[in-house]
Structure 1
Amino acid sequence: MDSVSQLVLGASVSVAVMGRRVPLWQAAAVGAACGTLPDLDVFIDHGDAIRNMTLHRTESHALLWLTLASPLLAWLIAGLFRRGVRWQQWWLAIWLALITHPLLDLMTVYGTQLGLPLTDHPFAVGSIYIVDPLYTLPLLIGLAAAFWRGGAGGLRWNRAGLALSTLYLGWSMAIQGVASWQIAQSLAQQRMPDDKVLVTPTAFNTLVWRTVIIDGDRYGEAYWSLLSPRRPLQISWHARHTALFAPLKGNWHAERVAWFSHGFYALREQAGQVTIADLRMGEGGNYTFTFGLGTPQAPAAHPERLPSTRPALGQSFKAIWERL
């Protein structure tokens, strides 16, 4: 999820737990810092773009490691402020601010390895876009009202913001289930394969959903709208060029992207090299994570992420409106 959402979520959780034991700004500051802390792994350079992508949200997002780190952080925070609040009282607030970060990331489609060291599986629900104002705004309003009103009334506003944002996450999973069922029905009517289908929301909303259908050497993209749920899917098909993968068997970078994307990838030849794209993020041939692999004869030792063109904000909202 975006950094603002994680920061505000951490602050809201910490304020809700600490209440009036400490000044409001202290609880919010500690929560915001802990809510941001796991994402500092983006500053670690693992040597190439594919490693940087697939090793983000790993140990720093693992529930076990964050749980083990929380008592130490609580002890440090209690010693820093020295206001008669014992570290045990900070512990719950810090632990919740830390673990809600990967749990919120889990709701996006990227992939979060929160089960480390027991499993490195990149878990992803994919029910919410990485930036969704309807999730973040209740948290911001509730936290702002807590500072503005103060006292018990302000704390109630903060709790209300947390409750509304959590209910919105529940809504996103429920409507994802509805969208998945309707899409499966439409695919069955069109006699299309439905054994490998991805359903995720489009930018900034949970009303229009994008689906990716893998069918051998091709993949299809289509959109489903809550406002016209029974409209037949209009599927746009594209080549995956899976034959290009055979010479790359054993290539760590190619196989890593194929694993991390759960099989939702496509290859093509571009500018004299083979490229691989994660189909889960992006659309219409323009994907956020596309990498140059070199050639089978001369594979890239340090693959680079190729530039992608993002549509302007106005174009994005226009597309959402048309698909509604």
Structure 2
Amino acid sequence: MDSVSQIALGAAVAIATMGRRTAVWKAALGGAVAGTLPDLDVLIDHGDPIANMVLHRAESHAPFWLTVFSLPFSAVIARLFGEWSIWRRWWLALWLALVTHPLLDAMTIYGTQLALPFSDHPFGVGSVFIIDPLYTLPLIAGTGWALATNGATYGLRANAIGLAIATAYLAWGVGVQKHVERLAYASLASQGVAAQRVLVTPSPFNSLLWVVVAVKDDQYYEGFFSLLDKESLIAFERFDRGTSASGSDVTELKGVSRIAAFSKGFYKLQDSGGQVTVTDLRMGQAPNYSFSFVVAERQNTLVPLTPSRQVGTRPDLDRAMPWLWRRALGQALPPPR
């Protein structure tokens, strides 16, 4: 999730755990710092844009390593605040603020390596968009109320309610995702598409409009469904993935294999104009995707690029945002291309 959401979650969790054992501002500050720390891995440059992508949310987001880190971290915080006598409570609060960060990230589609150092599998439920105000605002309101009332009983209760509402919203997202997934499979079947894998994830900033991506062999299909749509049948557009036309020299490129694994098969290739490009299909919509990389150039032979070059594109917001909100409200509009 975005930094504001993680800060708000860390602060809310720490306030709820510390209660009246410390000043509410201390709990909020400690939790906010803990909620921010895992994302500092973005400052690490691994020397290649694809490596930077797949190694984000790795060790710094693994509960095992965060648990190890929480011990000295909580000791430092307890000493700084002059509250060594309640060090164990500080440890619990900061440990919870640290580990809820990757758990929340895992609800997005990106891929969070929760099981390190035992497995590098990227977990990504994909039931909430990386920025969603309906998740973040209850946390901010509850934390703000607790701070404004200086930890009064009703302020702490408001913080707990904010946490409960935000968590319920995550549960809502999972439920809606499963509903749309069932509709997606039924719609694909009615159109004669036996998809090998289907991805259902919310569109930006909301949980009303959902994006469906289905992969079948060398094709992928994209469709949209709003909870306010009058019809349950999802219309799909078909696009070329470029995987059949690409030879083994392309599919065996390190950058291609890394994106293929990280995206769990939701990727496409383009081998034209003297360049080979691999694109993660999970983040964006045709023809604009955030994570697209040139991994090789074709001269007389295929020459891998080291490092790769990121060439992801963003949609024209003047067209995309009005379409997004109108489509979310159930208007049957073709996506802007």
Q: Within 5 Å, which residues of 2 pair with 1:177-256?
A: 177-228=178-229, 230-242=231-243, 243-244=245-246, 246-256=248-258
Give secondary structure in 1 for the equivalent of 2:212.
Answer: strand
Q: Out of 203-212 and 267-276, give the one that drifted further.
A: 267-276
Query: Which amino acid is 2:135 matched to?
Result: Y
2:289 pairs with 282, 287, 290, which one? Answer: 287
Match of residue 111 from structure 2:
111
Say whether residues 1:143 and 2:143 are aligned partners: yes
With over 3 angstroms needed to count, the CA separation of the structure-2 counterparts of 1:158 and 1:186, relative to structure 1, is same
Match of residue 274 from structure 1:
276
Query: Which amino acid is 1:255 matched to?
Result: S
- How far apart, in 2, do the equivalents of 1:321 and 1:53 lie? 32
- How far apart, in 1, do the equivalents of 2:326 and 2:24 lie? 41
Q: Within 5 Å, which residues of 2 pair with 1:56-95?
A: 56-83=56-83, 85-95=85-95
2:259 pairs with 257, 261, 282, which one? Answer: 257
Deviation at 1:191, TM superposition (A): 1.8
Give secondary structure in 1 for the equivalent of 2:10.
Answer: helix
**Contact 1:203/1:316 (8 A) holds in 2:** no
**Contact 2:183/2:233 (8 A) holds in 1:** no
Say whether residues 1:156 and 2:154 are aligned partners: no
Could you tell me the TM-score, scaled by structure 2's length? 0.92
Give secondary structure in 1 for the equivalent of 2:304.
Answer: coil
Partner deviation per Cα, 1:149-199 (whole Å, 9 max, x = no partner):
231111001000000000000000001011101111111222211331111
2:311 pairs with 286, 306, 310, which one? Answer: 306
**Contact 2:293/2:311 (8 A) holds in 1:** yes
**Which runs of at least 4 in structure 1 moved beyond 6 Å after TM superposition?**
none
Say whether residues 1:319 and 2:324 are aligned partners: yes
With over 3 angstroms needed to count, the CA separation of the structure-2 counterparts of 1:59 and 1:73, relative to structure 1, is same
- How far apart, in 2, do the equivalents of 1:44 and 1:278 lie? 22
Gaps spanning 5+ residues in structure 2: where?
331-337
With over 3 angstroms needed to count, the CA separation of the structure-2 counterparts of 1:174 and 1:229, relative to structure 1, is farther
Q: Out of 133-142 and 225-234, give the one that drifted further.
A: 225-234
- How far apart, in 2, do the equivalents of 1:79 and 1:275 lie? 51
Over aligned residues, Cα RMSD in angstroms?
1.5
Instruction: Name the count of aligned residue pairs.
Output: 324
**Contact 2:7/2:31 (8 A) holds in 1:** yes
With over 3 angstroms needed to count, the CA separation of the structure-2 counterparts of 1:179 and 1:273, relative to structure 1, is same
**Contact 2:187/2:235 (8 A) holds in 1:** no
Deviation at 1:23, TM superposition (A): 1.1
Say whether residues 1:170 and 2:175 are aligned partners: no
Q: Out of 43-52 and 266-275, give the one that drifted further.
A: 266-275
**Contact 1:182/1:229 (8 A) holds in 2:** no
Partner deviation per Cα, 1:112-151 (whole Å, 9 max, x = no partner):
0010011100011000000000000000111111112231
- How far apart, in 2, do the equivalents of 1:66 and 1:165 lie? 23
Give secondary structure in 1 for the equivalent of 2:214.
Answer: strand
Partner deviation per Cα, 1:185-227 (whole Å, 9 max, x = no partner):
1112222113311110111111111011111111110011111
Deviation at 1:307, TM superposition (A): 4.0
**Contact 1:183/1:233 (8 A) holds in 2:** yes
Give secondary structure in 1 for the equivalent of 2:308.
Answer: coil
Give secondary structure in 1 for the equivalent of 2:271.
Answer: strand
Gaps spanning 5+ residues in structure 1: where?
none
**Contact 1:111/1:122 (8 A) holds in 2:** yes
**Contact 1:182/1:230 (8 A) holds in 2:** no
Q: Percentage identity across aligned positions? A: 46
- How far apart, in 1, do the equivalents of 2:303 and 2:108 lie? 35
Match of residue 97 from structure 2:
97
- How far apart, in 1, do the equivalents of 2:86 and 2:149 lie? 27
**Contact 2:61/2:101 (8 A) holds in 1:** yes
Deviation at 1:320, TM superposition (A): 3.3
Deviation at 1:250, TM superposition (A): 3.1
- How far apart, in 2, do the equivalents of 1:249 and 1:188 lie? 29
